[in-house]
Structure 1
Amino acid sequence: MGGKILYKKWQCLKKRLREIYDLESVIAVLTWDQNTHMPPGGAEARGKQLSVLGELAHQKKTAPELGELLEAVESEPPFLSYDSDQASIVRVAKRQYLEAQKVSTGFISRFYEHIAKTNQIWMEARESNDFGKVAPCLEKTLDLSREYASFFPESEHIADPLINRSDYGMKASDIQELFHQLRRQLVPFVDEITQQPASDRSCLLQAYPVQKQLDFCKEVIAKMGFDFRRGRLDLAMHPFMIGFAAGDIRITTRVKEQDLSEVLFSTIHEAGHAIYEMGINPAYEGTPLHNGISCGVHESQSRLWENIIGRSREFWSYFYPKLQARFPSQLGNVSLDDFYRAINHVERSLIRTDADELTYNLHVIIRFDLELALLEGKLQIRDLPEAWNERYKTDLGLVPPNDRDGVLQDIHWYFDFIGGVFQGYTLGNILSSQFYQAALKACPEIPEQIVHGNFVPLHAWLKENIYQHGSKYTAAEIVERATGSSLAIEPYMEYLRKKYYNLYLSR
C-alpha cells in the first residue's frame, strides 16, 4: 500500500476510534451524574438517553468500515512491531471489534435502559431495606447476563465472557483455582488472628465534622499525586472512580460523621484508581489504549494505595501529626501506635467495603461463588438473600440482620451484569503486593521516603511500569514485565503474615 494511502487510512481509523471514545465518555458523564447529582425523577429519562447513546456507540464499534480499516492497515510494516503504539492501537481495537461484532446492537440498547432503571430502584430498595422491590429487575439482569454470555458459545464456562470484559484472558476455572488456594491459606490465618485480643477502634468512632474530614482527605490524595486540575472529589452512596478524558477523571467517596476510617480509606482507594488513569500516556487519548488494562490491575493500584501504603506506619508517621492538628479533641491524646493498630483492626464483619485486609477476600469469594451459582441456574434470584446469609454464616460466622447489610450492600449487580467484576478485587489485592515487592526491589528507599511525605519514587516506578502503558499490553504481560513473573499469591500472603503477626502475635 502506498504511503499516502496508508496515511489516509490510518487517519480515518483514528477518527473512527476517537468517535467511539468520545461517545463512551459522554455515557460516563451521564453515569457519573446519575450517581451524584441526578434527582430520582430523572431515572426513566436517563435510561432512554443511555440506551440511545449505547446503541450508537455499539453501531460505531461494529461498523463494517471500521473492520475494513483495521484489516487494511494491520499487515503494513508500521503496524507489525508488537511494542509500537500504532500496532498496539490496531491490535486492541481489532480485538474489541471482533468481540463487539458478536453482540447485537438491540441487546446493548435494552441493557443500558434496564440498568439505568435498576440502579435507581436499587437505591430506593437499599434505603427502605426491601430486596423484593428490586428483585424483579435483578431477574431481568440475570437473563441479560446469560444472554450476553450466549453470544460467545465457544466459551468454556458461562461466566467466561463476563469475566473477559473486565479481566481479559482470565477464566472462571482459573479464578476458582486461585481462590481455592487463597482461601485455604486465609481461613486458618483469619481464625488465628481473630482469636487474639482485638485492637481498640474507639479513637475512630467519635464525632468528626464531615467537611473537615473531606478537607483532610483532599490534602492526603493531593500529596499522593491526585491532580485536582484534572480531577474532582464528590459524594456518592457507593464510592467509585470514572474517567471522561485525560484531563477529567473523577472520584467519589462516602463519609460517616461517627467513623473517620470510612472517608479516609474509601477516598485513598478511589484516588489510587484515578492516579493510575492520570498516569496513562496522554498520547493514547481517543484510542482504546487510554484505559486501565483490567479490573484486577486497576484494583491493584487502589488497594496498593489504600492498604499497603495507606494503612502503613510509614504513611501515618507523616500524616498523623497533621490529622491530630485537624482533630485535636478527638486524637490529641491518641498515640501513633494506637492509631496504627486501630486502622489495622481485624474483625469478622458484614460489609465488604468496610472489611479489613484479612477478611476482605472472603467477602469477594462469597460473591463470586454466588454469581457462578446464579449463572449456572443452581440458584434463583428469589433465594439469593437466604443463600447470601447462609454463606456469611458459614464463612464469616455472621448473619446479616437485614438486606441492606446483606444482599443489597454492593452496587455491582444493580448497575452491570451479574458476573465478571467482583473477582477483580481479590486479583487486585494479590497483584498489589506483587507490584509493591517489585517496586521495593528497584527502589529500596521508598518506605523511608514515604515517612517524609515523598511519594515521588513510588509514583515514578508505578508510572514507568504500569500507568503509562494504559491498555497497550494485557494484564498478564504487564505483570510479567513489571515483576518478572506471572500472577502469584506468595508475595501477598507474605505481606499479610508479616504485618499481622507483628500487629497481633508479637505484642
Structure 2
Amino acid sequence: MSALADLKEVLFEVSDLHQAAELLGWDQETYMPAGGVADRANQLGTLSRIAHERFVAAKTGRLLEAAQSEVAGLADDSDDARLVRVTRRDWDQETRLPSDLVVAMAREGAISRPVWQEARAKGDWSLFAPRMRITVELAQRVAEAIGTTGRAYDALIDLNEPGLDTAQVEHLFSQLRDRIVPLLRRVQEHSDRVDVSVLNREVEPQTQLNFSTRVVERLGYDFERGRQDLSAHPFCTSFGIGDVRITTRVKPSLREGCLFSSIHESGHAMYEQGISPALARTPLAMGTSPGVHESQSRLWENLVGRGRAFWQHFYPELQAAFNGALNEVGEEEFYRACNAVRPSYVRVDADELTYNLHVMLRFEIEKELLEGQLSVEEVPEAWAVQVKEYLGLEPPSGSEGPLQDIHWTQPMLGGFIGYALGNVIGAQLMECVRMRLPRLDAQIAAGDFAPLLGWLRENVYLHGRKFTPQELVQRVTGRAIEAGPWIRYVECKFGDLYELN
C-alpha cells in the first residue's frame, strides 16, 4: 500500500474514535441519567486521549511526510492533496498539545456541564466561577502550547477559523457594530410599527414539534440519516454522513417555540449530510469551520425561514396545524411578528438584527479573560456594561447573563466568533445564490427548496473541510469574507419592515 493509503487507515480509526465520543456527548445531552456524569467524564477523557495519541504518533508523522511527496503532482483542489494539507495543519497543531491537556479538556468539560446547569437554574455565577477559571486556564494552556507570533487569542481563532486572526475579526466586528447600533436605535424609535403580540399565543408543544419536523423534512433534512430529539440547548451532531442528528427545545408560547431552532439545526445537519461520501472518516468529513457551518444554519433559519416567500408557502399549513390558534391572523402580520426587533438578554432568543451584538459582547469578554485583563469574578459586571452599551438594556438576571450559554463549559475559547461570521458568510453566499437562481423567491413560495439545497450542496457542502473559510468564500463568491452583503441585507429588510427608508 502507498503511504497515503496507510495514512488514511490511521485517519479512519481516529475519526471513529472522535465520532464515538460525539455519540457519548449526544447521549449526555439527551438521555443520560444525572448519575452518569463521573463515568461519562472518564469515558470521554479516555477516548480523547487514545484518538490524540494515535493521531500525533511518530508513525503518523512519517506517513504524512511520505504522503506529501505522493500527492505533490496532484491538482491543488483534489481530495487527496487537500486531505494531506489539512491533516498536516491539524497534526502540527495537535502535536503541540500534550496528552494530559487533551484528556483534561474532555474530562473537565463533562464535569462542568451539570455545574453550569445548576448555576443557571439558580442564577448564581459564583457557583460556576470555579469551573470557568478552569476553562480559562485550559484555554491559556492551549494557546501557549500552539504558540503565536501575535496575540494569544490568535491561536484559538486559528483552531476554529483557519486563516483568520484577532485583528481581522476586530475589524470585521467594528464594521458591523458601526452600522448595527445606529440602525437599532432608529428601529427602536419606531418599534410600534410591528406588533409581536401574536407570538404570545400558546400552542401545545407536541403540535409545534410535529409541524417543525414536517418543515425541516421538506427543506431537505433526511430523516433516514438523522433524527430530532429534545435537549436543554439545541444542537446538531454528526456520527458520520449517514447519521447526523439534531435537537431542539420547545415551550408553549410561540415566542419560544421550536420551529426556528429546528430549522437552524437542520441547516447544520443538511451541510453534514451533503458532504461527499468520498471524504468519509477523514478530517475533511466535516464543515469548513464553525463560522461556515453557522452560515448554513443562519441562512436556512433567517434568509429562508424568516422570509416572505417561505411564509407564502407554509403559513396556510401552519394555521391548519395549529388548530385555529392563528385563524384570524394574516400572513403579513405573522411574517412581521417573526422578524420584529426586540433587544433581549438571551442570545438564542435574539432577533436577527441584534444577534451579532451578543457575539461581539462575548468576544470582548473572552479576549480580556485570556489576556488577563478581566478576572472570572468580574465577568457579570463586564457583561452588564456591554449589554447596556450594545443593546441598551439594564443589567440582566443571573440566568440571562453569562450563564445563559453552555459553551463555556467546554475548556476552549474562541468559538463564539463563528456565530457572527455565520451571519456574514451566509448573506454573502445568498447574494451569490440570487444571481445564480433568479427565480429563488418564486421557487420557495411554491415549496420547492431543491434548487437552493442543490446549489449549496454543489458549491459548499460537497467540499467538507477541503478549504479554509477564506478559500471557500473566495472560490464561491469571488471575494474574501466581507461585512457588506449582510449590512445591505439588514438595512434593506429592517428599513422596509419599520418604514425607515
Q: Paired residue for 2:494, among 476, 484, 500?
A: 500
Query: Equivalents in 2 of 1:255, 1:238: separation in Å?
Result: 10
Matched, 1:283 2:300: no
Aligned residues: 500
Matched, 1:337 2:329: no
Match in the other structure for 1:475: 469
Contact kept? 1:73, 1:79, Cα under 8 Å: no
Q: Which amino acid aligns with 1:354?
A: D
Shift of the alpha carbon at 1:79?
Answer: 5.5
Q: Which amino acid aligns with 1:214?
A: L
Match in the other structure for 1:3: none
Contact kept? 1:24, 1:57, Cα under 8 Å: yes
- Partner deviation per Cα, 1:270-324 (whole Å, 9 max, x = no partner): 1100011110001111111101001111111000000000100000100000000
Q: Which runs of 4+ in 1 moved over 4 A?
A: none
Match in the other structure for 1:226: 221
**Which shifted more, 303-312 or 484-493?**
484-493
Match in the other structure for 1:4: none
- Partner deviation per Cα, 1:122-179 (whole Å, 9 max, x = no partner): 0111112221111111111111110110012334111111111211111111101111
Match in the other structure for 2:20: 26
Q: Which amino acid aligns with 1:201?
A: V
Structure 1 vs Structure 2 CA RMSD:
1.3
SS in 1 for 2:402: coil
Q: Paired residue for 2:130, among 105, 125, 136?
A: 136
Matched, 1:113 2:107: yes
Match in the other structure for 1:61: 55
Q: Paired residue for 1:256, among 229, 244, 251?
A: 251
Shift of the alpha carbon at 1:77?
Answer: 5.1
Contact kept? 2:148, 2:155, Cα under 8 Å: no
Query: Equivalents in 2 of 1:339, 1:261: separation in Å?
Result: 15
Match in the other structure for 1:300: 295
Change (3 A) 1:77 1:496: closer
- Partner deviation per Cα, 1:411-461 (whole Å, 9 max, x = no partner): 1111241x2111111111011111001011011011110000000111111
Query: Equivalents in 2 of 1:493, 1:481: separation in Å?
Result: 21
Q: Paired residue for 1:104, among 94, 98, 107?
A: 98
Q: Paired residue for 1:154, among 148, 152, 162?
A: 148
Query: Equivalents in 1 of 2:67, 2:98: separation in Å?
Result: 26
Q: Which amino acid aligns with 1:179?
A: F
**Which shifted more, 35-44 or 339-348?**
35-44
Contact kept? 2:135, 2:410, Cα under 8 Å: no
**Which shifted more, 314-323 or 80-89?**
80-89
Percentage of identical aligned residues? 43
Shift of the alpha carbon at 1:40?
Answer: 1.5
Query: Equivalents in 2 of 1:270, 1:224: separation in Å?
Result: 12
Q: Which amino acid aligns with 1:181?
A: Q
Shift of the alpha carbon at 1:37?
Answer: 1.0
Q: Paired residue for 1:209, among 185, 188, 204?
A: 204
Query: Equivalents in 1 of 2:467, 2:223: separation in Å?
Result: 28
Q: Which amino acid aligns with 1:27?
A: A
**Which shifted more, 178-187 or 153-162?**
153-162
Gaps of 5+ in 1: 1-6
Query: Equivalents in 1 of 2:160, 2:148: separation in Å?
Result: 18
Contact kept? 2:7, 2:67, Cα under 8 Å: no
Contact kept? 2:287, 2:465, Cα under 8 Å: yes
Structure 1 segment 231-250 matched on structure 2, within 5 A: 231-250=226-245
SS in 1 for 2:246: strand
Shift of the alpha carbon at 1:10?
Answer: 2.6
Structure 1 segment 106-505 matched on structure 2, within 5 A: 106-198=100-192, 199-417=194-412, 419-505=413-499
SS in 2 for 1:144: helix
Q: Which amino acid aligns with 1:94?
A: R
Q: Which amino acid aligns with 1:29?
A: L
Query: Equivalents in 2 of 1:210, 1:118: separation in Å?
Result: 29
TM-score, L = length of structure 1? 0.97
Change (3 A) 1:400 1:265: farther
Gaps of 5+ in 2: none
Contact kept? 2:125, 2:403, Cα under 8 Å: yes
Change (3 A) 1:77 1:489: closer
- Partner deviation per Cα, 1:444-485 (whole Å, 9 max, x = no partner): 011110000000111111111100000111111110111111
Contact kept? 2:226, 2:243, Cα under 8 Å: yes
SS in 2 for 1:159: helix
Query: Equivalents in 1 of 2:270, 2:99: separation in Å?
Result: 33
Q: Which amino acid aligns with 1:244?
A: F
Q: Which amino acid aligns with 1:212?
A: T
Contact kept? 1:204, 1:342, Cα under 8 Å: yes
